[in-house]
């Protein structure tokens, strides 16, 4: 495998690898709970055939000082456990949306650092590695603000303004805004509708905004598709192997290694370090070519 500055050997940005780990975490959290929920629901449902009233705590063999906190009747337990499932899906959507927003900010910052002239319509006119070696590190605070809030039409327009249109992104804008509004209702209104003015005469709480399991899976799929579309566009056009070169730069500085005089055994040492970070590590020739490129920039 040959080293090419703007052709990433493993296709994904490091930001995307982090996002995928968050995706896995969200799925593991939800689906580890699903069998327990369905089993408990089945046991409690079966208990209703008993001729004498039974408590969910007894049916589920709950013990300890907190067993008394379990709803006393089957009907009240069923209402509460269903509401809990809605809350679980709601909060996980909040987390998954936050993971996407964090990913986009990190990927955009990486792309700007890698290809600093891109935002001026001169993509690849400057290699960000040359700035890195000179310790020029723009913060891009104003550019990143565009991805912190606002509608998804505004956010996708901000990406397009910096890096051109992302193929396959526009078809998800409407659904992304539904997710954004839902996420805000969970974060700021206890899962209820966000009203411009609260009802000062109301005592009863409003109903929660529902989210079914099907809707939950669909929204997670949408977030995943959006992240993949953005990553493909930025990696292929603006990031390339910047993260690897950046990591190598920091590693050399931290270990006081002069890249221009590195020996072959040090190449192997760096390859071992890289193996602990990412899968599908390239071979020694690739690393040697990467180091040669770094030295020539």
Q: Is residue 95 situated within a structural domain?
A: yes
Average pLDDT (272-290) is 84
- Nearest CA-CA partner of 162 in 115, 102, 128: 115
Q: What angle do CA 206, 211, 217 make, to 5 degrees?
A: 165
| Gap between the Cα atoms of 234 and 216, Å rounded | 27
For residues 228-241, give the mean pLDDT: 98
148: three-class secondary structure by DSSP: coil
Count of structural domains within the chain: 1
Domain membership of residue 266 (yes or no) is no
What is the pLDDT at residue 275?
82
Whether 297 maps to a domain, the answer reads no
φ, ψ at 41 (rounded to 5°) = -60, -40
In a domain, 62, yes or no: no
- Residue 119 lies inside a defined structural domain of this protein: yes
Give residue 266's pLDDT. 86
Segment 168-200, tens digit of pLDDT: 999 999 999 999 999 999 987 776 676 667 778
Percentage of residues in the chain having pLDDT higher than 90: 79
- Residue of 86 and 188 predicted with greater confidence: 86
Query: Do the domain assignments include residue 145?
Result: yes
In a domain, 183, yes or no: yes
Per cent of the chain over pLDDT 70 is 98
pLDDT at 244: 95
What residue numbers bound the domain in which 178 lies? 14-31+85-240
Has residue 248 been placed in a domain? Answer: no
Q: Exposed/middle/buried for 117, CB within 10 Å: 0-12, 13-18, 19+?
A: middle
pLDDT higher than threshold 80 for residue 76: yes
Report the distance separating Cα 13 and Cα 184, nearest Å: 28
């Amino acid at each position: 495998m040959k080293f090419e500055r703007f052709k990433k050997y493993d296709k994904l940005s490091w930001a995307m690898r982090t996002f995928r780990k968050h995706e896995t975490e969200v799925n593991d959290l939800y689906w580890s709970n699903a069998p327990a929920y369905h089993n408990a629901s089945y046991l409690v449902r079966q208990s209703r055939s008993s001729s004498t009233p039974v408590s969910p705590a007894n049916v589920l063999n709950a013990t300890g000082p907190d067993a008394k906190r379990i709803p006393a009747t089957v009907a009240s337990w069923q209402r509460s456990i269903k509401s809990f499932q809605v809350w679980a899906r709601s909060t996980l959507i909040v987390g998954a949306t936050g993971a996407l927003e964090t990913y986009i900010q990190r990927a955009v910052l990486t792309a700007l650092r890698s290809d600093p002239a891109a935002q001026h319509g001169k993509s690849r006119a400057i290699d960000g590695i040359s700035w890195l070696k000179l310790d020029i590190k723009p913060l891009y605070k104003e550019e990143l603000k565009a991805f912190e809030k606002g509608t998804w039409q505004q956010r996708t327009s901000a990406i397009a303004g910096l890096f051109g249109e992302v193929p396959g992104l526009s078809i998800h804008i409407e659904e992304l805004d539904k997710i954004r509004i839902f996420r805000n209702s969970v974060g700021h209104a206890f899962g209820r509708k966000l009203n411009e003015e609260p009802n000062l005469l109301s005592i009863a709480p409003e109903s929660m905004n529902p989210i079914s399991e099907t809707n939950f899976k669909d929204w997670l799929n949408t977030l995943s598709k959006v992240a993949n579309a953005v990553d493909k566009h930025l990696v292929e056009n603006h990031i390339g192997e910047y993260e690897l070169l950046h990591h190598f730069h920091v590693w050399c500085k931290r270990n006081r290694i002069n890249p221009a005089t590195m020996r072959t055994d040090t190449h192997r040492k760096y390859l071992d370090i890289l193996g602990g970070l990412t899968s599908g590590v390239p071979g020694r020739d690739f690393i040697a070519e990467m180091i040669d490129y770094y030295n020539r920039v």
